[in-house]
Amino acid sequence: MSPYYFYGFRLSRSSRGVVVAEFRINISNLSEGVHGYIFEAEPSKIGLDERFVSMVRIKVKLDKSLRQIRLQADISAEGTFVCDRCLNNFKWQIAKNYSMIYILGDRSTMDLKKEEEIQVISADTNCIDLDEDVRQYILLAVPQKLLCREECLGICPTCGVNRNNENCACDAQVTDSRWDTLKKLSQS
């Protein structure tokens, strides 16, 4: 990620001030058992940078028991990225799911697998906010190498045309000169 995006994110966050989270679930009177939610938010509202323009959607399943809440979330988002090879913009669908366990009160009483994501919240917490987790998981889902498609031909280093749209003669010339050398060798 370029520093520019990070800066942009910081700016938008600080200008938000104190606002209610977009993805907020009231758990104050939540009965034990499974609950389902669907949320939608503008990407900028959850602190995503300007590469993300389409609505971010999450489908959440909460499983509440006496001392903990187990959350499963399916995130779908879409970003517009610049291809590392041809520099064209392309859209990328992000589908990511994650789970989180909210412990009500005290971690020490719980028997948990180490690899599980855990947040300890006080027993009188009214709401859980998912904005920051969702933002992080979306950013983590953005591939390190951004390619408009796996077989993107990129830009010709010699003449600069986008080889996905245009054929240039540069490769052919290289091949020809190699071929000439071979011919010369075989003739000598």
Q: Are 77 and 43 in contact (CB under 8 A)?
A: yes
Rule CB under 5 A: is residue 156 a binding residue for Zn ion?
A: yes
Report if residue 148 touches Zn ion, rule: CB under 5 A: yes
What's the angle, vertex CA 71, arms to CA 69 and CA 77, rounded to 5?
155
The Cα 112–Cα 46 span in angstroms is 30
Closest C-alpha to 45, from 33, 37, 57: 57
| From candidates 112, 159, 172, 174, binder to Zn ion by CB under 5 A | 159
CB of 149 to Zn ion, least distance (A): 7
Q: Which is nearer to Zn ion, 86 or 104 (CB)?
A: 86
Q: How far is the CB of 82 from Zn ion (least distance, A)?
A: 9
Amino acid letter at 176?
Answer: D
Give the residue with the Cβ less far from Zn ion, 120 or 153: 153
Q: Is 152 in the site for Zn ion (CB under 5 A)?
A: yes
Among 158, 173, 175, 181, binds Zn ion (CB under 5 A): 158
Stretch touching Zn ion by CB under 5 A, among 34-42, 79-87, 125-133, 135-143: 79-87
Give whichever of 45 and 163 is closer to Zn ion, judged by the CB atom.
163
Number of neighbours of residue 82 by Cβ within 10 angstroms: 13
CA angle 117/120/126 to nearest 5° reads 115
- For Zn ion, the closer of residues 122 and 165 by Cβ is 165
The whole-angstrom separation of Cα 22 and Cα 39 is: 8
Binder of Zn ion out of 25, 48, 71, 83 (CB under 5 A)? 83
* Pure H helices in the chain: 3-16, 131-141, 170-187
Nearer to Zn ion, 33 or 157 (CB): 157
Looking at 48, 56, 62, 86, which residue binds Zn ion (CB under 5 A)? Answer: 86
| CA–CA dist 181, 109 (Å, integer) | 77
Residue numbers of the site for Zn ion (CB under 5 A)? Answer: 83, 85-86, 148, 152, 156, 158-159, 168, 170
